[in-house]
């Protein structure tokens, strides 16, 4: 057996350990939200992380990498070696004690975050967040892949990306988004969102959300959906993908959240079998991953054609609320653009401002320019600067996202990158299939899904994000597609 085949077998075991870890985390979020016995779970997750770290950093891996570099490899094997080498080079820089401490702290911090969010009291979460931030700083210092710590953390989620590269994308867009929001809200014919302030039965919301993703070709034989505090998607095996949603937010956010997580899940489900149980059996970057979820959630799920098919079903589920509301008005209402407190509920235009806020705060936090204790005040100040409103409490402000509790600092920028990648990819899809929106009117979504499988999903992590976007669209990431998309869409909705 040659070196690359040995590496593949070795990392198949490592991938299965990752899946076990994912199962523990999934169970924690789905079944243990109110459970007090999380200390035992934190020790279990820490042990799995330790076992993974030991296997990735073993002398065997280092030796096999050197041997594999001398081989004549095909495209998949070359990509596999690239990712294994990256994983190895990162892991050997991190002490085992640090790895296990980060894992253990993330479980306990998630518990504190949930309690703090429920009570809208940041002080409950502050101590463990301070520890989490310090651990992430130490991790970035040990890795040292970029001159600045924040770029090192960003690179873990968007390989090759840096703070400067992202800032050069976000900074020109920020004033354009702020101005466009003001322009839309100056319209004398704004959509009316009052229908969403009515009560919508939570069980019916969940049932309907499941019905929608089944129609979108989510295979419940290889996945399932559950309720959680903060929606997420995770893979428990190559063909076992779990998605989650919540029904407690204003309607129809359960629906849009479910479609969003479906976008993540269908990406993972579409990876070709040749890559199963390999290090390549996952999305190539979180930015590309978000491009798929944001595309399905917004470009498809908030389109008029989508609602021409689905709205009669919604009226059947909620007749008292929707029987006298025309589809046109429902479609306008679901696309209201207005500053709001909760990121996951934000419209397509203001969403980017939510991400820019977190991007700027994370940079200052990691560089020590601001302290964890100052976060609520700084959050509210920047929120008012970017969105013109001030969160009324911590739950709707600094505590709304789960990411920091898990140590995922550097993840947030990928959400807005996903919007940008997604609109660029979709523009290319429409060039090839200009009548695609007509499919949605008939409840047909296979043509879009098949295109995405063929061009993106099947390849897993074979191609890096910058190579993939060029391969699919013929150019580097280009923000013009997003700006054109929101201008054309929302000028119609706001009748400007």
Are 452 and 352 in the same domain? yes
C-alpha triplet 214, 219, 222: angle, nearest 5°: 145
Exactly one of 29, 104, 261, 290 is catalytic; which is it?
Answer: 261
Percent of residues in the chain assigned helix, strand, coil, to nearest 5: 65, 5, 30
Residue 63, both tokens: 């030796």
Residue 111 neighbours by CB under 8 Å, 6+ apart: 38
Query: Does residue 168 fall inside a structural domain?
Result: yes
Are 193 and 102 in the same domain? no
Query: Does residue 395 fall inside a structural domain?
Result: yes
Residue 305, both tokens: 């054609």
pLDDT at 345: 86
Residue 204, both tokens: 């019916």
- Reported as a single tens digit per residue, the pLDDT across 270-296 is 999 999 999 999 999 999 999 999 999
Query: Does residue 267 fall inside a structural domain?
Result: yes
Give the β-pairing of 223-227 and 233-237: unpaired
Question: What does pTM read for this prediction?
Answer: 0.94
pLDDT at 33: 67
Residue 59 burial (C-beta neighbours within 10 Å; 0-12, 13-18, 19+) = exposed
pLDDT at 7: 97
Are 332 and 444 in the same domain? yes
What letter would DSSP give residue 297? I
What letter would DSSP give residue 298? I
Are 176 and 115 in the same domain? no
152 and 145 in contact (C-beta within 8 Å)? yes
Are 219 and 101 in the same domain? no
Residue 451 neighbours by CB under 8 Å, 6+ apart: 429, 432, 433
C-alpha triplet 59, 62, 67: angle, nearest 5°: 125
Host domain of residue 57: 3-144
Helix, strand or coil, per DSSP, at residue 270: coil
Are 278 and 222 in the same domain? yes
The tally of domains found in the chain comes to 2
| CA atoms within 13 A of residue 211's CA, in its CB half-sphere | 11
Are 167 and 140 in the same domain? no
Are 132 and 169 in the same domain? no
Are 425 and 328 in the same domain? yes
Are 140 and 174 in the same domain? no
Query: Does residue 156 fall inside a structural domain?
Result: no
pLDDT at 36: 72
Q: Give the span between the Cα atoms of 110 and 114, in whole angstroms.
A: 6
Residue ranges in the chain whose pLDDT is less than 50? none
Task: Establish whether 49 is a catalytic residue.
Answer: no
């Amino acid at each position: 057996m040659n070196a690359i085949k040995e590496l593949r077998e070795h990392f198949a075991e490592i991938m299965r350990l990752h899946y076990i870890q994912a199962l523990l985390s999934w169970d924690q979020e789905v079944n243990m939200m109110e459970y007090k016995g999380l200390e035992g779970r934190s020790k279990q997750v820490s042990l799995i992380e330790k076992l993974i770290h030991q296997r990735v950093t073993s002398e065997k891996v280092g030796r096999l990498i050197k041997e594999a570099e001398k081989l004549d490899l095909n495209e998949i094997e070359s990509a596999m070696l690239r990712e294994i080498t990256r994983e190895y080079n990162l892991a050997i820089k991190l002490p085992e004690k640090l790895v296990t401490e980060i894992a253990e702290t993330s479980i306990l911090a998630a518990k504190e975050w949930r309690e703090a969010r429920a009570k809208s009291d940041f002080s409950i979460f502050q101590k463990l967040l301070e520890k989490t931030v310090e651990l992430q700083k130490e991790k970035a210092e040990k890795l040292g892949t970029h001159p600045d710590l924040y770029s090192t953390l960003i690179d873990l989620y968007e390989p090759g990306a840096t703070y400067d590269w992202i800032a050069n994308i976000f900074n020109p867009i920020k004033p354009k988004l702020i101005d466009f929001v003001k322009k839309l809200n100056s319209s004398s014919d704004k959509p009316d969102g009052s229908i969403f302030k009515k009560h919508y039965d939570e069980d019916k919301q969940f049932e309907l959300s499941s019905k929608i993703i089944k129609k979108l070709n989510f295979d419940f034989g290889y996945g399932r959906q559950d309720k959680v505090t903060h929606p997420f998607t995770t893979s428990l095996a190559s063909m076992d993908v779990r998605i989650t949603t919540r029904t407690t937010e204003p309607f129809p956010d359960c629906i849009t959240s479910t479609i969003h997580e479906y976008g993540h899940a269908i990406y993972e489900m579409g990876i070709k079998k040749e890559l199963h149980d390999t290090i390549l059996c996952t999305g190539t970057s979180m930015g590309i991953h978000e491009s798929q979820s944001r595309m399905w959630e917004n470009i498809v799920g908030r389109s008029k054609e989508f609602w021409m098919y689905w709205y009669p079903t919604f009226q059947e589920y909620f007749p008292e609320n929707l029987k006298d509301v025309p589809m046109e008005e429902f479609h306008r209402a679901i696309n209201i653009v207005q500053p709001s407190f909760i990121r996951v509920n934000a419209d397509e235009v203001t969403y980017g401002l939510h991400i820019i806020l977190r991007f700027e705060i994370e940079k200052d936090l990691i560089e020590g320019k601001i302290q964890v204790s100052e976060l609520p005040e700084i959050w509210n100040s920047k929120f008012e600067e970017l969105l013109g409103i001030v969160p009324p409490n911590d739950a709707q402000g600094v505590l709304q996202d789960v990411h920091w509790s898990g140590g995922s600092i550097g993840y947030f920028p990928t959400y807005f990158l996903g919007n940008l990648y997604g609109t660029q990819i979709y523009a290319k899809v429409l060039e090839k299939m200009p009548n695609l929106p007509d499919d949605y009117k008939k409840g047909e979504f296979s043509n879009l899904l098949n295109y995405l499988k063929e061009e993106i999903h099947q390849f897993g992590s074979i191609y890096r994000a910058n190579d993939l976007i060029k391969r699919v669209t013929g150019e580097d990431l280009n923000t013009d597609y997003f700006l054109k998309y929101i201008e054309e869409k929302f000028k119609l909705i706001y009748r400007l």
